[in-house]
């Protein structure tokens, strides 16, 4: 009872505050009211609403909920969501047949979706109820609405605002060196697995590899998670993903994850979730909620696995460096040496890789690789440290010994 009452009070407070700035855009107001209504859980003071200590508060909370629904319906009508709204309001009208403002919103939704005959029937039903039960006639707004529906054809459809554009993939600043086989491998994995995680310590190229894989997709979106706080919730993560995809809030009173899953239904999309390691828990909870409701595939980069049953791990190892004393030709073919040379020439335009100087960048890369491998052997966080390999759940089809560590 306490939880229901608290949720009701929070919902009512959000709804009440949202009725003040009614000049807010329809989409923003609908989103705010949808969030408020989504907080409602069951009936206020369920099981005790008729008791003297709760009846007044329960009635007040229910009234605020209905006012929020009426404001929400008005905002949705501004957006032109007539057909969907007509269905959503049907049950509320049955429960509260004498609320004229709610009825007016329902009539407008029916009329706007081409169901004018049903709207006029609903008006006549309300008129009979008011006469029989209260001895009254419908108010001025409803009377004017009936005349409008009788005298005019279907209203012109509302011009919807174009949705925000999806965030494009960042353009590569440099050539991807030494990862051709890895790119082909990850693309093949995404052909058979809907969740692939590139694992390993930072700084080795997980993000760059993921972006290269994504460029071959018809539709792909990068969602950068590095800036999110560790306390990010699943709904908070869903909001970040929705913003990157250009999906607006506020269709129905649903959670952010439910709205996102609905918006993604039918889309073939590669979603790149980059730098998941500090928000592993919400990402691990988010992905299974979104994948079943859509045709989306997820390519994640993380210093540790997400630990969900549908996950396929792919380690991105450091680029191979020839051993000391290797022939110059082998050094010049090395991906690690070529990458160092590309970065060095960008920083110092006069630099050129040759057989004479190839051993120097090779030695530097060996030391860098050794440092990365030492970092890989250290537990990344308490979460990783307190789990043994046998305790790690849900890495389907990948032996624990094969997961190793990865690279970014």
DSSP string, 220-283: EEEEE-TTS-TT--HHHHHHHHHHHHTPPS-SSS--HHHHHHHHHTT-EEEEEEE--GGGHHHH
Q: What is the pLDDT of residue 407?
A: 36
Judgement on whether residues 312 and 335 belong to the same structural domain of the protein: no
Judgement on whether residues 336 and 358 belong to the same structural domain of the protein: yes
Q: What is the pTM of this model?
A: 0.51
Residue 11 belongs to some domain of the structure: yes
**Long-range contacts of the stretch 138-144 (C-beta < 8 A, 24+):** 138/100, 139/100, 141/100, 141/101, 141/104, 142/100, 142/103, 142/104, 142/107
**244 is in which domain, residue-wise?**
180-316+393-403
Judgement on whether residues 251 and 398 belong to the same structural domain of the protein: yes
Determine the Cα–Cα distance for residues 231 and 400; give it in Å rounded to an integer. Answer: 28
Q: Which residue carries 């009614």 as its tokens?
A: 22
Judgement on whether residues 279 and 201 belong to the same structural domain of the protein: yes
Q: Has residue 314 got a pLDDT over 90?
A: yes
Judgement on whether residues 198 and 294 belong to the same structural domain of the protein: yes
Residue 159 belongs to some domain of the structure: no
Residue 52 belongs to some domain of the structure: yes
Judgement on whether residues 201 and 258 belong to the same structural domain of the protein: yes
Strand order in the sheet with 220-224: 220-224, 268-274, 295-302, 195-199, 311-315
Judgement on whether residues 40 and 135 belong to the same structural domain of the protein: yes
Condensed to tens digits (0 to 9), the pLDDT of residues 104-144 reads: 999 999 988 888 899 999 999 999 998 888 888 888 889 99
Say which residues have a Cβ less than 8 Å from residue 279's Cβ, sequence separation at least 6: 225, 228, 230, 232, 237
Mean pLDDT of 68-80: 86
Residue 408 belongs to some domain of the structure: no
CATH number at residue 233: 3.40.50.300
Average pLDDT, the chain: 76
Structure-block tokens of residue 304: 């540790």
Condensed to tens digits (0 to 9), the pLDDT of residues 330-352 reads: 666 676 777 777 777 777 787 77
How many structural domains is the chain composed of?
3
């Amino acid at each position: 009872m306490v939880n229901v009452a608290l949720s009701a009070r929070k919902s009512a407070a959000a709804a009440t505050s949202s009725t003040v700035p009614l000049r807010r855009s329809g989409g923003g107001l609908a989103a705010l009211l949808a969030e408020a209504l989504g907080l409602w859980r069951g009936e206020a003071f369920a099981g005790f609403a008729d008791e003297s200590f709760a009846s007044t508060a329960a009635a007040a909370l229910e009234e605020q909920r209905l006012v929020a629904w009426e404001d929400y319906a008005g905002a949705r009508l501004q957006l032109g969501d007539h057909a969907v709204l007509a269905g959503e309001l049907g049950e509320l009208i049955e429960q509260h047949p004498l609320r004229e403002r709610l009825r007016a919103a329902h009539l407008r939704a029916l009329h706007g979706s081409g169901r004018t005959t049903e709207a006029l029937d609903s008006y006549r039903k309300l008129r009979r109820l008011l006469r029989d039960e209260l001895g009254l006639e419908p108010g001025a707004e409803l009377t004017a609405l009936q005349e409008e529906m009788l005298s005019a054809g279907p209203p012109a459809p509302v011009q919807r605002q174009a949705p925000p554009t999806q965030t494009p993939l960042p353009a590569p600043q440099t050539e991807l060196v030494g990862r051709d086989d890895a790119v082909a491998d990850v693309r093949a994995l995404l052909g058979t697995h809907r969740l692939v995680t590139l694992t390993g310590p930072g700084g080795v190229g997980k993000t760059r590899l993921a972006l290269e894989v994504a460029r071959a997709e018809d539709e792909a979106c990068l969602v950068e998670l590095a800036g999110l706080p560790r306390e990010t919730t699943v709904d908070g993560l869903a909001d970040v993903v929705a913003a990157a995809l250009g999906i607006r809030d506020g269709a129905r009173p649903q959670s952010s994850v439910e709205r996102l899953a609905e918006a993604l239904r039918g889309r073939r999309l590669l979603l790149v979730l980059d730098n998941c390691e500090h928000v592993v828990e919400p990402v691990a909870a988010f992905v299974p909620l979104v994948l079943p409701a859509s045709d989306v595939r997820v390519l994640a980069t993380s210093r540790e696995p997400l630990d969900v049953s549908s996950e396929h791990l792919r380690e991105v190892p450091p680029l191979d460096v020839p051993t000391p004393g290797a022939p110059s030709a082998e050094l010049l073919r090395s991906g690690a040496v070529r990458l160092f040379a590309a970065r060095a020439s960008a920083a110092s335009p006069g630099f050129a890789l040759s057989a004479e100087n190839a051993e120097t960048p090779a030695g530097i890369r060996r030391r860098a690789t050794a440092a990365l491998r030492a970092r890989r052997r250290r537990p990344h966080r308490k979460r990783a440290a307190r789990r043994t390999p046998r305790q790690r759940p849900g890495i389907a089809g990948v032996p624990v010994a094969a997961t190793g560590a990865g690279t970014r």
